[in-house]
Amino acid sequence: MHAIQVKTRSAGKASVLRRAGIVPGVVYGPSIDSTPIAIDRKDLHALFSEITRSSRISLTVDNEGKTQEMDVFLKVVEYDPITDEPVHVDFYHPDKVHPLKLHVPVKIVGEPIGLKAGGVLSVLFNTVRVHGLPNDIPHLITIDVTALDLGDSIHVRDIDFGEVEPMLPPERTLVSVVAPRGMASLEEEEAEGEELEEGMEGEEMEGEGGEPSDQAGESEEPAEGE
């Protein structure tokens, strides 16, 4: 589990804290009072480089020398529109016996064999929303696409979500290997050409062994079904 230490803060001093390299925030939940906190910006950047939106975080709150530890999830991060630096962060402390609904990031591993045939890997979902107890929420949903050939797909029903339940239908496609548009058009043209050739061959075979069609006064009869 990832960990970070924070301190309680007084309300109304957010701008002063930011100038000192501190990011104001708040931690709240159904079993605790909403508590304003202050986080060192460097510590927050280090945390962001390690976690996802569904990572459980061990938060240690220092309240004038008295510490309290709790498991939290990152809830909301506000960024400065110019510097892109975090200016406020919310942490949520859940009740361990009540399930949550969270978006879990999808991580793709492997290289599909269908890429060698000219296919393109299409990732339809970057996150999957799941429902389950806080301690069962996964950090990532890892999907191995190595075995995917051209036209193959991986659906929700193909993934082991452990103790949590995905909030998508079982038949929903998560990733697939598809043919590029140009390749798909070429395959369609080739298929149409093959059908045309088969039809022509059928006409020639039907005429074999029959009466000659170039006799005087006779016109060529159309093949059956034309």
In this predicted structure, what is the pLDDT of residue 41?
A: 96
pLDDT band at 15 (very low <50, low <70, confident <90, very high): confident
The residue range of the domain holding 153 is: 100-178
**pLDDT tens profile 43-54:** 999 999 999 989
| 199 within domain boundaries | no
Q: How many domains are there within the chain?
A: 2
CATH number of the domain enclosing 133: 2.170.120.20
Strand 32-40 with 2-8, pairing: antiparallel
**Does the residue 23 lie in any domain?**
yes
| 6 and 88, same domain (yes or no) | yes
DSSP, res 25:
E
Q: Whose structure tokens read 């999907």?
A: 143
pLDDT at position 221, please?
Answer: 39
What is the share, in percent, of the chain residues with pLDDT greater than 90? 72
pLDDT of 195 > 60? The answer is no
Domain edge (last residue) among 72, 92, 112 = 92
For residue 146 the two structure tokens come to 């190595």
107 and 62 in a common domain: no
Residues in the chain, total: 226
HSE toward the beta carbon, residue 2, CA cutoff 13 A = 19
Expressed in angstroms, the distance from the first to the final Cα of the chain is 73
| 115 domain residue, yes or no | yes
| Residue 213: DSSP 8-state | S
Instruction: For residues 79 and 112, state if they share a domain.
Output: no
Beta bridge partners of residue 7, listed in sequence order: 38, 62
Co-location of 82 and 139 in the same domain:
no
Give yes or no: residues 79 and 13 share one domain. yes
Judge contact between 108 and 145, C-beta under 8 A: yes
Report whether pLDDT(88) > 70.
yes
**78: confidence class by pLDDT, cuts 50, 70, 90:** very high
Residues 10 and 77 in one domain: yes
3-state secondary structure of 212: coil
Weakest mean pLDDT among 89-93, 99-103, 111-115, 197-201: 197-201
- Predicted local distance difference test score (pLDDT) of residue 80: 95
In terms of domains, do 104 and 51 share one? no
Residues 26 and 59 in one domain: yes
Question: Domain containing 24 — which CATH number?
Answer: 2.40.240.10
What pLDDT is stored for residue 14 in this prediction?
84
Q: Return the amino acid letter for 218.
A: E
- Tell whether the model's pLDDT for residue 219 goes beyond 90: no
Per DSSP (E only), the strands in 93-207 are 100-109, 120-123, 127-132, 141-144, 153-155, 165-166, 173-178
Is residue 185, in this structure, part of any structural domain at all? Answer: no
Q: Is the pLDDT at 201 greater than 90, yes or no?
A: no
Residues 112 and 75 in one domain: no
Whether 64 is covered by a domain: the verdict is yes
Beta 22-29 vs 86-92: how paired, if at all? parallel
Question: Is residue 138 in some structural domain?
Answer: yes
Q: Please state, in angstroms and rounded to a whole number, the distance separating the CA atoms of residues 165 and 150.
A: 29
Phi/psi of residue 201, nearest 5 degrees = -60, -35
> Is 205 a domain residue?
no
At residue 35, the pLDDT reads 94
| DSSP element (H, E) containing 199 | helix 181-207
Same domain, 10 and 51: yes
| End residue of a domain, out of 92, 118, 136 | 92
In a domain, 204, yes or no: no
The mean pLDDT of the chain is 85
- CA 60, CA 51: separation in Å to the nearest integer? 17
Tokens of 71: 């498991």
Last residue of a domain, one of 92, 121, 138: 92
- Model confidence pLDDT, tens digit, residues 140-190: 999 999 999 999 999 999 999 999 999 999 999 999 999 987 555 545 544
Claim to verify: residue 52 and residue 133 sit in the same structural domain = no
Q: Please, what's the b/e burial string for 64-101 (b: 16 or more CB within 10 A of its CB; e: otherwise)? A: eeeeeebbbbbbeeeeeeeeeebbbbbbbbbeeeebbe
Task: Say if residue 79 is in the same domain as residue 114.
Answer: no
pLDDT at 116 over 80: yes
